[in-house]
Copies of this chain bind each other. A is one copy, B any other.
Amino acid sequence: MTLMRKPIPVAEAVQRVMQFPRLKEAEAVKLEESTGRVLAQDIYTTHPVPWFTRSPYDGYAICAASTEQAGEGSPVWLQVLGTVAAGDVWRGCVERGQAVKIMTGGAMPDGADAVIMRELTREEERDGALYVQIKRKVKTGENISRIGEDMEEGELLLRQGTMINAGTVAQLATFGYAEVPVFRKPVVAVIATGSELLDPSEPLAPGKIRNSNGYMLLSQVLRSGAEPLYIGKVQDTLGETLAAVKKALEQADLVLTTGGVSVGDFDYIPAVYQELGAQPLFNKIGMRPGSVTSAAERNGKLLFGLSGNPSACYVGFELFARPVIRAMMGMKRPYSQRVQAELQEDFTKPNPFDRFVRGKLSFSGGRLYAAPSGKDKSNIVSSLAEANCLIVLPGGTRGWEAGSMVDVLLLDDQEGTGQWR
C-alpha cells in the first residue's frame, strides 16, 4: 500500500486529536477509592464550618462577665459544673460565676460566651465542689470558633474536573460525601504489532525480540490515570491486526497500537484504518522521534498508531494520547505542564525537526535544569527509565548548547495545563 505522507507540525497533530475526546459518563465511587479520580460535578459545602459554636482549645467555657473584676492580684473563682468533651453537648446553661470545662472542638454550652485556656487557670476542690481560678479579664467572644467562621454553607468547594488527592478527600469527608461523583476511567486498549515479538515469558527465538512497547504503554496508560486493557501482540498480517483492532474498538474507549506504521512491506496499520473506514487524522509529524506517529478516528473513537521504536512510541503516547485520555477523564487541564529549564548538555547538531528528548528534570538553587536521561539512541530502552520530562528542542538551523533555556514537558506532574502551549 502506498500512502501519501505529509508531515504536519506537532501542535497541529495535537489539535486534530483533541477535537475528539468524549467525556466519559459519571459514576459514584466510595470516598476511600476516589484518590486519583476526577470530579464529575462541582462540589459545594453542605454546612457551615464550624457548624456549631465550639472551643478551639482545652479550657473553660464561661460568661465573660464573670471575669470583669479578675486580675493578677484579684483572682475570681468560678464553680465548675462539669466537662464537655468533643462530641458532647452540655445540657444546661452556664451562668455568671459558673464554668464548664471544655475540650478542643467541644460545643459551647448555652450561656457561655468565652473560653479561657486551661494553661491560664488553676482548679481547686472545696467542700466537694470544683472551682477554677481565673486571674485575668476575658472578653466576650474570646477563644470561640463561630458558626461559618471558616466556610459558609453552599460555598463552591471543588470544581468539576479536579483530580482527587489527599487534601480533597479531607474536604469531601468533611462535607459528608461518602460517595463521590467521578468520571468513569477511559479504557485504553494496547496492541503490539510485529511478527518478531515474543512475550516476556517466552524464550528467545532466532530473529525475535521481546515485546517491550506493549508493556511500557500499559504503564504509561496507568500514569495517565486511565484503565489499560492489554489486547495482546499480533503477527504482521492484515487479518490478525485488523481482528485485534476490531476487538479493541469493541472493548475500549481508545485504541493504541505500536508498530506497523512505517513504510515497510508488513506495516499494516494504514491498511487497517482503511478497512475500518476510519478517518485518517495524520500519518506523519514533523518531529523526531516518532515522525510516523499516526492517528485516525472511527465513530468518535480515536486510534493511535504509535511507532514500533521504543522512544518514538513513548514520546508519541505522551504528546498525543495522554492529553486525549485526560480530556476524556474530564480534566480541565489535560496537557502536560510546559516549563523552562536550563539545558545541561549540548545538542550541537542542527536538526530541521522538533526534537523531544527524554530527560531528567532537576532542581538546584531555586532553578530548573534538564539533562537527557542517558543516550537518546532511539533503539535503546535504557534511557527511558529515569525520564521524568521531555526536553523540547525546536527544529531549526542551529543546535542547542548547554546553558540554553529550553522548554520541558513534565511527565510525573498531575497539575497539567489547559493549553498545548
Chain A interfacial positions (CB closer than 8 Å to B):
31-32, 35-36, 47, 49-52, 56, 58, 83-89, 101, 103-107, 118, 145, 150-151, 157-158, 162, 164-178, 194-197, 199-204, 206-220, 222-223, 228, 230, 236, 262-266, 308, 310, 314, 337, 339-342, 358, 363-368, 377, 379-388, 405, 412-415
Looking at the complex, which one of B201, B266, B415 makes contact with A176 (CB distance below 8 Å)?
A: B201
Tell whether, in the assembled complex, residue A381 and residue B340 are in contact, meaning their CB atoms are under 8 Å apart.
Answer: no
Tell whether, in the assembled complex, residue B169 and residue A87 are in contact, meaning their CB atoms are under 8 Å apart.
Answer: no
Tell whether, in the assembled complex, residue B158 and residue A194 are in contact, meaning their CB atoms are under 8 Å apart.
Answer: no
Q: How distant is A380 from chain B, measured CB to nearest CB, in Å?
A: 5
| Known contacts A206-B52, A207-B52; is-contact A384 B215 (Cβ 8 Å) | no
Q: How distant is A8 from chain B, measured CB to nearest CB, in Å?
A: 21
Q: Which residues of B contact A104 (CB under 8 A)?
A: 262, 264, 308
Tell whether, in the assembled complex, residue B178 and residue A200 are in contact, meaning their CB atoms are under 8 Å apart.
Answer: yes
| Known contacts A174-B210, A207-B87, A230-B32; is-contact A340 B368 (Cβ 8 Å) | no
The docked-state distance in angstroms from the alpha carbon of A382 to that of B174 is 10
Tell whether, in the assembled complex, residue B210 and residue A176 are in contact, meaning their CB atoms are under 8 Å apart.
Answer: yes
Looking at the complex, which one of B118, B377, B388 makes contact with A150 (CB distance below 8 Å)?
A: B377
Tell whether, in the assembled complex, residue B379 and residue A213 are in contact, meaning their CB atoms are under 8 Å apart.
Answer: no
Q: Contacts A32-B218, A50-B209 given; 7 further ones with Cβ under 8 A?
A: A51-B204, A58-B263, A87-B195, A104-B308, A340-B366, A365-B405, A412-B413
Q: How distant is A384 from chain B, measured CB to nearest CB, in Å?
A: 3
Looking at the complex, which one of B213, B342, B367, B405 makes contact with A368 (CB distance below 8 Å)?
A: B367
The docked-state distance in angstroms from the alpha carbon of A48 to that of B264 is 26
Q: Which residue of B lies closest to A235 (CB)?
A: B87
Tell whether, in the assembled complex, residue B382 and residue A366 are in contact, meaning their CB atoms are under 8 Å apart.
Answer: no
